[in-house]
Amino acid sequence: MNRKVIVIGAVALGSKAACRFKRLMPDAQVTLIDSDEQISYGGCGIPYYISGDISNASELRSTSFHRVRDEAFFREDKGVDVMTGTTALSIDRDNKSVRIRMKTGEEKDLPYDKLVIATGARPRKLDIPGFDKKNVFAVGSLNNAIAIKSALISGKVEKAVIIGGGFIGLEMAEAISDMWEIETHVVEYCDQIMPGFVSKNLSIMAKKVMEEKGIFFHLGESVREIQGADAVAGVRTDNGILEADMVISAVGIAPDSDLALRAGLELSDYGHIVVNDRMQTSDPDIYSGGDCVTITNLVTGKPGYFPLGSMANRQGRVIGSNLAGIDARFPGAVGSFSVKTFDYALAGAGLTIEKAIKEGIDAASIQVAQFDRAHFYPEKDIIFLELVVDRKTRRVLGIQGFGGKDSGMIARINSVATLLHHHITVEEISNLEFTYSPPFASAMDIVNALGNAAENYLDGRLRPIQASEFLDYWNQRDSGKCFFLDCRAAADGLPIEEKYRKFWKSIPHDELQRRMDEVPKDKKLILICNTGVRSYETQINLESAGIKDTANLCAGMAGLRACGIEV
Amino acid sequence: MNRKVIVIGAVALGSKAACRFKRLMPDAQVTLIDSDEQISYGGCGIPYYISGDISNASELRSTSFHRVRDEAFFREDKGVDVMTGTTALSIDRDNKSVRIRMKTGEEKDLPYDKLVIATGARPRKLDIPGFDKKNVFAVGSLNNAIAIKSALISGKVEKAVIIGGGFIGLEMAEAISDMWEIETHVVEYCDQIMPGFVSKNLSIMAKKVMEEKGIFFHLGESVREIQGADAVAGVRTDNGILEADMVISAVGIAPDSDLALRAGLELSDYGHIVVNDRMQTSDPDIYSGGDCVTITNLVTGKPGYFPLGSMANRQGRVIGSNLAGIDARFPGAVGSFSVKTFDYALAGAGLTIEKAIKEGIDAASIQVAQFDRAHFYPEKDIIFLELVVDRKTRRVLGIQGFGGKDSGMIARINSVATLLHHHITVEEISNLEFTYSPPFASAMDIVNALGNAAENYLDGRLRPIQASEFLDYWNQRDSGKCFFLDCRAAADGLPIEEKYRKFWKSIPHDELQRRMDEVPKDKKLILICNTGVRSYETQINLESAGIKDTANLCAGMAGLRACGIEV
């Protein structure tokens, strides 16, 4: 029996593992140690504390019944001993003990039957000059968050630069610009926001809504130096100087695995602690999980890194069960995520098209736009979904989406995300049984339409282009090489035809058969309607009439509008 | 090649099959015939047309780009010939032709290579006197809907009785009471609304919100007679007379399979057309789908009946593909559904606990209540989920839920519903990877909490009762056999203790260990907190102290409140 369990780290995974174990074995002795005084907080809520949505930092440390999760809580409510301000110095695996230094400075050895390493991750630091100046922050802990909020409350911050356009960068940009009315610039090294998480095309939609709220983006740009005397005064990038009296670095995190390394536990090449599907490290008496471990990516079958509070919570529970002798497994993850950008959201799971190709897969992606509810139902939102598939096996590799934060987009992502590890094909998406009634879905729901479009694409019936490719054609519209065929009703198409008679023609789809001789046959035809449905039918009719050099703007004018592309 | 395809029935499945086939084989000849003039309408939208959310019936027949799907639309846009007002009289399978009677009264034989039967379903009629009186309606077609709305617009309807408390009954009750301010009574033969779709417990929550909007329910009551001279004046039930100047019958539908029967096609005992997973009838040249067929219930493996517009659309597409020589399959369904009840919704998939037991399965169900988002995030809703599992195999058989119509409830239902046919166990629900960020989910999301609770229940750690069982104990509170232990903070628990000192005691969970001797040991203890979490911990602590006769009110006070149970 595991009578003595020590847990190092008391934020998400550590606390969960300790409490679950204690519930299963009420007589056991569990000690939770953390070098910080602030323990058991919801780190993912930090941006909403900064924004003022959450007024007090203690709310991030409270249960749903408003009890702060402090030492007393763990002792009285959970029967778990907590030692804050206590650092784990080293692990003696042979003698099964942990050397600790307590608040008082005193050191001692704590014996364990089983040990849990929940040391989490640290914010990455850019190796550039000036990172140590005043008002340069990372978003790594609740203490940092409190410091950022203090600086904001001081009223002296007028311009801020956020380094990094991933989750945390975007959430922090929204937080400080929306509530604090600070001129906010996001500098991102890649040529898109949320790199690796959504396609460039979807990223542009989110960027547009954030730009409309006043945030400035500097993409494909690196920060070279943080300038200023004592405090930050500006940021020098490849392209020039951005004035700033606050800098928030959000350039990713790295596993905090020093202790594990020194204990001789197996680490990955990137420094993650290696665990099996019971969350055991290379020492079976030592468990680990959360932001410091690598787990299996269930789409690629390779090691993956998914530092998210939700992972930590679920893995913590699995560890707690295993500590108590239950055979619990955590098979891996597909990387589901969601991020709010003002009134909209991006979400996804699995591989993006860019990542799939990098994995060496002959992958394709298809995008659709459709209402999230029956089109005849008064309340509804246009949402955008993108499916990433393996051309050969037709396996679904990933799904991403953009839509209103209160739309049905995230529900669609989740219904596909949770299937990804079952190795489903596009045909299963076509038949996906989403709950249907007009206030909640369409009879042919967008998620089914996505599967249908993918099937039509893989079978060669649908030849799509996305908004970014449209833009390439549009930019060469005067070259005479391409021609735009507007398949919408005349009332929509004619005004544009009148403006651009040389390369744009309105032939509503229902007039196509009798006006087939008006279609140019010597040019690449770009087919356009509202959402790509009528232009798909046009593509099929043209094909049947022998006109094969056509490209259907999937997601249609709705997709262009969402990307901020005007014709 | 299938050059000539005839489709009988042009509402949902027929139109979809015809158009999909025509897109795949543009040169083929497709004829869509229907005895009605109103074709290709969204029948599921009828309640929203009645309510006025949708102002004009033609909107139910329009595409998302506002084109009415009439004969001209099918001809010009789809290349499909349509014959409305045309009845299919018989099928001559030997000669592969259909005998039709056209609008003019003229009869003729139409030859086919392949035939699609999409005759749908008819509203069931109660075999009671008075069903043919004026202002007695069924919700079977768009024509009926137009007639109902005309009667409402006349302003002469003050009291209405709806027979049937299923989907259509509830949607119609909301439609006429909300917009038209008609005193509305729903009479349901079973002892709950939505029988077969949700547990009694969840049904009570939906009933409560509808009652608060002024709708009257008469459950466990049968209608015996519809009274009145020419027009309806009242409804006589087992229990008395309900005045009414309108009656809407919504007692279910029956497959319209007469034509198939006369053609000698295989039917089920209940009159559904039998099809294989390519949607072929017993005659491989004849396909069928939608409301007139039986398909496999993917949870039980037995024949099921899922008459929903979404099924018809997806099956129609599968038929269209098969007609064109693509090997497309429709493996079956798990019965996902959703229904809006004013500002709330019920949704689910798979088996309810009652149905699972009827199937002879040793099934159990567990309910949880939790916020749909991080509890520290300002916008959030308490939602209720119920999981139905097989005790032996731990397989998940079904999930149902109740929550705000704009809450994340439906997203959770869908993320589990789409997994049901993969034969998952409760452990997969515990680890379900729902997209996480505070505005959209909790770090330990409610759907994971549901799996955790089911696991704890199956393993004997959690011994739950639901609100209805609580009520039974509450009603015998003076018997001295049971005792209520309130695990919430003293501020919540003490006022109730003061009121009911004989059988209610407040011991906040964090005070339990030092107040253990105050716990009565000779009575069944009913453990209560807000949502069942602290009372679960109390149950474990009591067990560990040797006090084993305890029952945890899962969903806690939140569940009682939602059911309208007051203590």
Q: Among A275, A297, A323, which residue terminates a domain?
A: A323
Q: Do the Cβ atoms of A45 and B377 come within 8 Å?
A: yes
In this complex, do B437 and A406 lie within 8 Å of one another by their Cβ atoms?
no
Residue A560 has pLDDT above 70, yes or no: yes
Cα nearest neighbour of A529 on chain B: B65
Least CB–CB distance from B438: residue in A48, A408, A419 = A48
Q: Half-sphere exposure (CA, 13 Å, Cβ side) for B319? A: 34
> How distant is the Cα of A65 from the closest Cα of chain B, in angstroms?
8
Which strands form A29-33's sheet, in the order they lie side by side? A81-83, A29-33, A4-8, A114-117, A286-288
B500-531 in b/e form (b: 16+ CB < 10 A) is: eeebbbbbbbbbbeeeeeebeeebebbbbbbb
Residue A330 lies in a domain: no
Question: Is there a single domain that holds both residue B403 and residue B358?
Answer: yes
What is the domain-level CATH number for residue A297? 3.50.50.60
- Rounded to an integer, the average pLDDT of B183-191 is 98
Q: How confident is the model at residue A349 (pLDDT cuts 50, 70, 90)?
A: very high
Mutation target vs A (from B21, B198, B337, B431; most A CBs, 10 A cutoff): B431
Position B205 confidence tier, pLDDT thresholds 50, 70, 90: very high
Q: Is the ipTM of this complex over 0.90?
A: yes
Say if B103 falls within a structural domain.
yes
Q: How far is CA B111 from the centre of its chain?
A: 40
Inter-chain residue contact B378 with A54, CB threshold 8 Å: yes
For A315, which residue in chain B has the nearest alpha carbon?
A: B431
The residue among B71, B78, B418 with the most chain A CBs within 10 A of its CB, best to mutate, is B418
| Domain count of the fold of chain B | 4
B277 and B244, same domain (yes or no): no
Residues of A within 8 A of B433 (CB-CB) are 310, 333-334, 336, 349, 417-418
- What is the per-residue pLDDT for A1? 64
CB < 8 Å to A340, chain B: 437, 439-440
Catalytic residue among B44, B482, B529, B563: B44
From chain A, pick out residues whose CB is under 8 angstroms from the CB of B417.
415, 433-435
pLDDT (average), residues B121-130: 94
Same domain, B344 and B454: yes
Between CA B68 and CA B73, with CA B72 as vertex, the angle to 5 degrees is: 50
User: Are B471 and B415 in a shared domain?
Assistant: no
For residue range B434-463, what is the model confidence (pLDDT) as tens digits?
Answer: 999 999 999 999 999 999 999 999 999 999
Boundary of a domain, candidates B274, B291, B323? B323
Confidence of residue B1 (pLDDT cuts 50, 70, 90): low
Same-domain status, B426 and B487? no
Residue B372 distance to chain A (closest CA, Å): 12
Same domain, A258 and A116: yes
Nearest to B341 by CA among B31, B124, B47: B47
Residue pLDDT, tens place only, A496-542:
999 999 999 999 999 999 999 999 999 999 999 999 999 999 999 99
B110, B259: one domain = yes
Whether A328 maps to a domain, the answer reads no
End-to-end CA distance of chain A: 71
Last residue of a domain, one of A199, A234, A251: A251
Residues A116, A259, single domain; the answer is yes
Taking only the tens place, the pLDDT of each residue in B219-244 is 999 999 999 999 999 999 999 999 99
* Structural domain harbouring B162: 136-251
A418 to B433: CB separation less than 8 angstroms, yes or no: yes
Question: Which H or E run includes B427?
Answer: helix B426-430
Nearest chain B Cα distance for residue A381, angstroms:
12
Which of A418, A462, A543 best tests the B interface by mutation, with the highest count of B CBs <10 A? A418
A131 located within any domain: no
- pLDDT of B528 strictly over 80: yes
Residue from A191, A176, A166 nearest A342 by CA: A176
Active site residue B563: no
Which member of A370, A376, A414 has the closest CB to residue B42?
A376
Taking only the tens place, the pLDDT of each residue in B372-418 is 999 999 999 999 999 999 999 999 999 999 999 999 999 999 999 99
In the set A44, A292, A487, A554, the catalytic residue is: A44
Residue of chain B whose Cα is closest to the Cα of A491? B65
Find the range with the poorest average confidence among A355-359, A368-372, B40-44, B370-374: B40-44
Chain A: give the shortest CA distance to residue B280, in Å. 17
Same structural domain for residues A19 and A95? yes
**Same-domain status, A15 and A106:** yes
* pLDDT bracket for residue B140 (50, 70, 90): confident
Cα distance from B452 to chain A (closest Cα, Å)?
9
Q: Based on the domain organization, do B100 and B65 belong to the same domain?
A: yes
B156 contacts B245 by C-beta, under 8 angstroms: yes
Query: What is the C-alpha separation between B249 and B261, in angstroms, rounded?
Result: 26
> Is A331 among the domain residues?
no
As a whole number of angstroms, the longest Cα–Cα distance in chain A is 90
| Distant-in-sequence, close-in-space partners of A142: CB < 8 Å, separation ≥ 6 | A36, A38, A41, A43, A46, A57, A60, A61
Under the banding of pLDDT at 50, 70 and 90, the label for residue A179 is confident
Question: What is the pLDDT, as a whole number, of residue A140?
Answer: 84
* B26–A437 C-beta distance less than 8 A: no
- CATH number, domain at B531? 3.40.250.10
Q: Is the pLDDT of residue B2 over 90?
A: no
Question: What's the mean pLDDT in A32-52?
Answer: 94
Substitution target in B55, B58, B64, B420 with the highest count of A β-carbons within 10 Å is B64
Residues of chain B contacting A16 with CB distance shorter than 8 Å: 444
Q: Which residues of B touch A317 (CB under 8 A)?
A: 430, 444, 452
- Helices A446-458 + B309-323 axis angle, to 10: 10
DSSP 3-state of A444: coil
- How far A138 CA lies from chain B's nearest CA (Å)? 19
Chain A hits for B338, CB-CB cut-off 8 Å, are 435-437, 439-441
User: What CA–CA distance (Å, rounded) separates B194 from B203?
Assistant: 7
Say yes or no for a CB contact (<8 Å) between B26 and A544: yes
Residues of A in contact with B328 (CB under 8 A): 427
Give the three-class secondary structure for B80: coil
Our CA dihedral for A23, A25, A29, A32, rounded to 10 degrees, sits at -40
pLDDT (tens digit, 9 = 90+) per residue, B241-261? Answer: 999 999 999 999 999 999 999
User: Strands B97-101 and B107-111, how do they pair?
Assistant: antiparallel
A334 CB neighbours in chain B (<8 A) are: 433
The predicted structure's pLDDT at residue A307: 96
Q: What integer best gives the mean pLDDT of chain A?
A: 96
Give me the mean pLDDT over the A221-228 stretch: 97
In a domain, B345, yes or no: yes
Judged against a pLDDT cut of 80, whether residue A564 lies above it is answered with yes
Q: Are residues B277 and B172 in the same domain?
A: no
- From A123, A119, A126, A129, select the one nearest A148 (Cα to Cα): A123
**Residue B471 placed within a domain:** yes
Q: Average pLDDT over chain B, rounded to whole?
A: 96
Cα Rg of chain A (Å, integer)? 27
Q: Residue A404: left (phi > 0), alpha (psi -120 to 50), or beta?
A: beta
Please check whether residue A554 lies inside any domain of the structure.
Answer: yes
Of A42, A65, A415, the CB nearest to B443: A42
What is the per-residue pLDDT across A439-498, written as a single tens digit (0 to 9) for each?
A: 999 999 999 999 999 999 999 999 999 999 999 999 999 999 999 999 999 999 999 999
Q: How far is B88 from chain A (nearest CA, A)?
A: 26
Rounded mean pLDDT of A40-49?
93
Question: Beta strands of A445-540 (E only): which ranges?
Answer: 464-465, 482-486, 504-506, 524-528
Q: Which residues does B312 contact at the CB level (< 8 Å), separation at least 6?
A: A443, B11, B12, B13, B16, B118, B120, B289, B290, B291
* Greatest pairwise CA separation for chain B in angstroms: 90
